[in-house]
A = this chain, B = another copy of it.
Amino acid sequence: MTDATLLDVRPLATAEVIAIGSELLGSTRLDTNSLFLSEILSSLGIVLRAKAVVGDSKRDIAAVLRGALERVDLVIMTGGLGPTDDDLTREAVSDVLGVPLIEHADLVERLEQRFARRGLKMPDVNRRQAQILRGGVIVENPNGTAPGQMFERGHQVILLLPGPPRELKAMMVELAKTALAQRSGTERLFRTSLFIVGRGESHVEEVAQPVYSKWLQQSPPIETTILAAPGQIELHLVLRSADPAAAERALGVAREQLIAALGADVFSIDGRSMEEIVGALLLERQLTVAAAESCTGGLMMSRLTDVPGSSAYVAGGVVVYSNELKTSLAGVDPALIASHGSVSEPVAMALAEGIRARTGASIGVGITGIAGPTGGTPQKPVGTVCIAVVGPESAVVKTFALFGTRTMIKFWSAQYAMNLVRRMLLGSAQEVHG
């Protein structure tokens, strides 16, 4: 075997991400794929050294790729793999590498079948999506028409992936288990996250900081990041190690210390959303839920039904904006609305009880509030939201004072309503922080 044929097995240590698309250079859209890619690369122990966004210009794409190939082992290019004239990634890479594009007959056939299944004839432009760099490997795209491709040059790898996040994510998750896992080193990043509801960011920081600051001195150290996300405060713990068992052990101990400090406000320790957590609890206890929503306009039910299998525990519900519908669809006594106002704890309770009775669900939820931007009063400003939860054995009603835009107030209202359901299911509804 001569040097020329020796396989270069240096692990991939550094990466650059290049997002392609003129729309990503405007003032309204960001390339968010790179956040996901950064995380998955770091789980492989590969350091993201730089990222770039270029428009749909073959010359610019080529220039940025050339620069990246001078610096890093792995270049991931996202977008520009569609069928249209301004999808130029394939051609630009072909130019830079000096490798021609070959149309794969079986890919053409698969594309045609994909269209045929929807009763459509494939437009001729879509043939371009069957062009693969000579010597490159096709990366299957289970969620779209544009296949990805992977090309190796010496120890370097160039990866072409489609831009839509859903397509890219599925493909990258698969590559991280297969081709990229084989090409990366022995150290890995290990992570765990805690999602917290019912406390503000600075209150979480106040309680958590004395706990996590000690972990920086241990070996290997655990780094902690605190992040305010819609509906939740997140604590992200990261540890770099070549020993998976020891790493998971250390993260488990750290997590327990945080849970001891933050209590039941920690609602998720595995990345699951509030709707998934509540859904799993309902399923486990074989209970169902229904909601009568006013200011959230159906958002709580919509979020609950985002979870596959939710038809097993979401009975249904009503959206009742007007006082008339609060009465006709959810059975609220008009006298109650007249005496307390539609945004009040008695009306929230009546909504919860009414929808529970009408649907036969185990748990009824009532949400009534002022999402804004108008409709507030000095007594009940925008963001005033009353939420009631009525279950088989107990009931709870609370008034929240929320801040932000209309959509933020809707989101937080749905989040707190689901959290009240969660606390009731855990038998700790009394301790909820408002």
Contacts and interface: CB of A to CB of B under 8 A. Distances in A.
Contacts of A410: 302, 305-306
Nearest to A164: B228
Contact of A322 (B35, B300, B316, B401): B316
A293 B298 CA distance: 10
Interface string A298-310: 1111101110111
A28 B329 contact: no
B54 A53 contact: no
A297 interface: yes
Interface stretch (A56-64, A151-159, A180-188, A253-261): A56-64
A433 interface: no
Given A23-B225, A84-B205, A226-B86, A374 B60 contact: no
A37 to B, nearest CB: 8
A296 interface: yes
A83 B306 contact: no
A206 interface: yes
Interface stretch (A118-126, A391-399, A418-426): A118-126
A149 interface: no
Nearest to A373: B308
Question: Which of A56, A311, A328 has the most C-beta atoms of chain B within 10 angstroms of its own C-beta?
Answer: A311
A229 B50 CA distance: 26
B321 A319 contact: no
Contacts of A299: 298, 302, 305
A406 B306 contact: yes
A166 B408 CA distance: 10
Interface residues of A, number: 104
Given A26-B38, A57-B49, A70-B63, A328 B201 contact: no
Question: Which of A83, A209, A228, A297 has the most C-beta atoms of chain B within 10 angstroms of its own C-beta?
Answer: A297
Interface in A20-64: 21-23, 25-28, 30-32, 34-36, 38-39, 42, 48-57, 60, 63-64
Interface in A386-419: 401, 403-408, 410
A85 interface: yes
Contacts of A372: 308
Interface string A200-225: 11110110010000000000000001
A63 B71 contact: yes
Chain A at the B interface: mostly helix, strand, loop or mixed? mixed
A70 to B, nearest CB: 7
Nearest to A226: B84
Contacts of A30: 30-32, 34-35
Number of copies: 2
B317 A298 contact: yes
Contacts of A200: 120
A38 to B, nearest CB: 4
B315 A166 contact: no
A236 B23 contact: yes
A329 B318 CA distance: 8
A268 interface: no
Contacts of A67: 63-64, 67
Contacts of A328: 358-359
B202 A84 contact: yes
B306 A297 contact: yes
Given A35-B28, A39-B27, A304-B297, A22 B225 contact: yes
A320 interface: yes
A318 B314 CA distance: 13
Contacts of A320: 316
Given A23-B236, A85-B209, 13 more contacts: A28-B236, A30-B31, A30-B34, A49-B57, A84-B226, A123-B202, A298-B301, A298-B305, A305-B371, A309-B374, A311-B375, A318-B319, A329-B329
CB-based closest 8 A-B pairs:
A298-B298, A297-B305, A27-B39, A298-B301, A299-B302, A298-B302, A316-B325, A67-B67
